[in-house]
Amino acid sequence: MTRYLLFNILNSNMKSSKLAFILKKLWNRFFEIEKTLRYFLIESLISLQNKHVNPNTLLLVRFDGIGDYILFRNFIEEIKKSKRFAGYSITLCCNNNYREIAESFDQNLIKDFIWINTTNFRNNISYRLNKLKEIHNRAFEVVLNPVYSRISLNEDSVVRASKASHKIGMQGDCLYSSSLERMIYNRYYSQLITIDPNNYFEFYRNKEFFGNVLQTNISLQKPLLPRLKRISINNKYSVICPFAQYNYRKWSLQNYIQVADYLHNKYHLKSIFVGSIKDNISEHENRLITGREHIINYIGKNSLVQTISIIQNAFIIISNDTGLAHIGAISKIPIVVVSNGNHYGRFTEYPKELGVKVLYAYPPQLINSKLSFSELVQKYQYRSDLDINTIGVEMVFPLIDSLLK
């Protein structure tokens, strides 16, 4: 209670002060450290309980987003058919945001799932404690954490609590964890695999990691996703995915509406707007969408699997840089991805040898840069602060024309 009172005092009395900004930053950092230490002690208490390891059991840990899972999921089959883990039962501990995808496409490979609400796992001590106890009590023999940008309070905590005999992860980077956190949690891995620094693209990082773990040369050349049965929609249509988890990845909805108008006027295509029930739009924006006969509003009206089916049967897709864009890309649907350049090289751009039909609309500052590809990767692979809304619709129209010519 005291900390919130002090924070409010700082916030109200020193709002315009540079000192206030510095103090609030230090204040937040202090309580992040305090939270880390508190959670670390909880994990320590759980880890003190000795458990006999259940042989031939393997836990896969994955807390990140839908796009990350799409570029990872094919390697579950590689584990299943490998000599090293022949006969092992696989449990997947992962983000419940892509539960539908995992259960629809990968249930035949996975014996069991442990679903994690990542918000509750980070902020609710009771929820966190129960999940870590569950993982500890399952007494897995092997834990694999194939996440490059590990989060100490997420995947690393699960690995530590598991008490597995073999705990294997990626050395990775410190994008989401401090150097101190990484140093502490690295001690709980029995093996950390260093990825070739020139392997930028996430799928290739996964391939290198699992090739090393499985001690084999993996022949898989690109991410794959089974085709779903076509949902009954008459005629050809485009799909527009105007939402993303973070605001800096969201191109203006009005821009997407102009794109839908362009697709209708020039190519006689209706546009299906898709998004989850969490994707809120204003009444004004809703009127702009529903007031156009060439736009079908499916925002919040379909399951994730139904949305995948709609994407896989589209004529063209226009999307922010988000999980649905990866689904469209690996389904070989022509797609324009509107991106501010965040995680450049890692998730954008797709390597040409994968044969996907993807074009990217970036802010002019990135497009007009004189830097080489590798230099752009170094600059934007962790974060881009470029404004996505400096991308005008007139920059997207030629990309659509190029894909549909």
User: 46-214, superfamily in CATH?
Assistant: Glycogen Phosphorylase B; (3.40.50.2000)
Residue 92, burial from CB neighbour count under 10 angstroms (0-12, 13-18, 19+): buried
CATH no., domain 237-404? 3.40.50.2000
Residues 6+ apart with CB under 8 A from 280: none
Which token pair is 331?
């389904």
Cβ(82)–Cβ(214) below 8 Å: yes
Q: CA–CA distance from 264 to each of 10, 238, 261, 336, 359 (Å)?
A: 53, 9, 5, 16, 20
**Ranges of each domain in the chain:** 46-214, 237-404
Strands (DSSP E) contained in 129-243 are 140-145, 166-170, 191-193, 237-241
Q: Do domains 46-214 and 237-404 have the same CATH topology?
A: yes
Tell me what pLDDT residue 14 has: 47
Tell me if the pTM is above 0.85.
Answer: yes
CA 377 to CA 33: how far, in whole Å? 30
Which token pair is 193?
């695999």
Query: How would you write the pLDDT of the chain (405 residues) with one tens digit per residue?
Result: 445 444 454 455 545 566 766 666 666 665 566 666 777 777 777 776 666 889 999 999 999 999 999 999 999 999 999 999 999 999 999 999 999 999 999 999 999 999 999 999 998 989 999 999 999 999 999 999 999 999 988 999 999 999 899 999 999 888 888 888 888 889 999 999 999 988 999 999 999 999 999 999 999 999 999 998 877 676 799 999 998 888 889 999 999 999 999 999 999 999 999 988 676 677 777 787 888 899 999 988 889 999 999 999 999 999 999 999 999 999 999 999 999 999 999 999 999 999 999 999 999 999 999 999 999 999 998 899 999 999 999 999 999 999 998
| Residue range 79-136, pLDDT digits in tens | 999 999 999 999 999 999 999 999 999 999 999 999 999 999 998 989 999 999 999 9
CA 68 to CA 147: how far, in whole Å? 9
